[in-house]
């Protein structure tokens, strides 16, 4: 995992306001740098690891390996393999002795988050973790408004069951604002989700 300093861009000294300032000062934007949510989370986890705040990693993509070649004098080459359905969430680890387990998804929708982004086995996995008193949640980014929410598993489960009962197949933006927790975005770390985890579960 590479470690990018602040945002991977050159430092440019702040300049004076241009002669034609916009009517309203533009809000500082931290996240819209073409980074995916996954990249932001990976760098946040690297920050946590470096500063000994937590040990949280993304799991490797599960792959079914069918054929491997062993060329002499060089590394083994996988020549045929297939993507497997993951049986768990993507991220897990430890924070102050407690088990942390979550999935991260982003949507370009403005008004709702489609539940089809999750698979049933992931929900079942989170249910098992929840029963074992692990801390489990999802991180959801609305890409266009650049907002990231932490939604605890218990809340997600309510919307999942609503869909299973024939109800709407998404979580409304207002519902997310009500039941989820907006994560402060920054430069370092970018998505400081443990701040919310600490408030909610400790």
- The single residue among 105, 114, 134, 157 that binds its own copies, judged by CB under 8 A, is 134
- The single residue among 33, 79, 169, 198 that binds its own copies, judged by CB under 8 A, is 79
DSSP secondary-structure letter at 33?
T
Exposure string for 96-120, b = 16+ CB within 10 A, e = fewer: eeeebbbbbbbbeeeebbebebbee
What character string, x for contact with its own copies (CB under 8 A) and - otherwise, covers 26-65?
-----------------------x--x-xx-x-xxxxx-x
Burial of 68 (0-12, 13-18, 19+ CB in 10 A): exposed
Task: Assess 97 for contact with its own copies (CB under 8 A).
Answer: yes
Task: Assess 70 for contact with its own copies (CB under 8 A).
Answer: no
Give whole-number Cα distances, 82 to 58, 67, 68, 78, 89, in Å: 19, 10, 13, 11, 19
- From 22-30, 72-80, 114-122, 188-196, give the range in contact with its own copies by CB under 8 A: 72-80
| Residue 128 beta carbon to its own copies: minimum distance, rounded to whole angstroms | 5
Of the pair 15, 61, the CB lying nearest its own copies is at 61
What residues have CB less than 8 Å from 36, skipping those under 6 apart? 106
Nearest Cα neighbor of 58 from 83, 92, 87, 86 is 92
Of the pair 26, 131, the CB lying nearest its own copies is at 131
| Residue ranges binding its own copies (CB under 8 A) | 1, 49, 52, 54-55, 57, 59-63, 65, 75-84, 86-88, 92-101, 125, 128-129, 131-134
């Amino acid at each position: 995992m590479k470690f990018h300093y602040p945002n991977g861009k050159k430092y440019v000294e702040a300049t004076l306001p241009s002669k034609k300032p916009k009517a309203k000062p533009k809000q500082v934007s931290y996240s819209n740098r073409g980074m995916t949510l996954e990249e932001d989370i990976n760098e946040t986890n690297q920050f946590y690891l470096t500063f000994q705040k937590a040990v949280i990693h993304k799991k490797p993509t599960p792959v079914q390996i069918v054929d491997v070649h062993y060329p002499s004098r060089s590394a083994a080459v996988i020549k045929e393999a297939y993507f497997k359905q993951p049986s768990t969430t993507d991220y897990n680890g430890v924070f102050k002795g407690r088990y942390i387990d979550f999935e991260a998804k982003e949507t370009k929708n403005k008004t709702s988050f489609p539940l089809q982004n999750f698979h049933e086995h992931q929900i079942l996995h989170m249910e098992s973790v929840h029963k074992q008193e692990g801390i489990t949640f999802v991180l959801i980014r609305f890409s266009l408004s650049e907002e990231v929410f932490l939604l605890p598993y218990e809340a997600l489960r309510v919307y999942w069951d609503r869909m299973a009962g024939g109800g709407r197949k998404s979580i409304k933006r207002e519902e997310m604002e009500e039941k989820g927790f907006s994560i402060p975005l920054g430069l370092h770390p970018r998505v400081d989700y443990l701040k919310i985890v600490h408030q909610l579960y400790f």
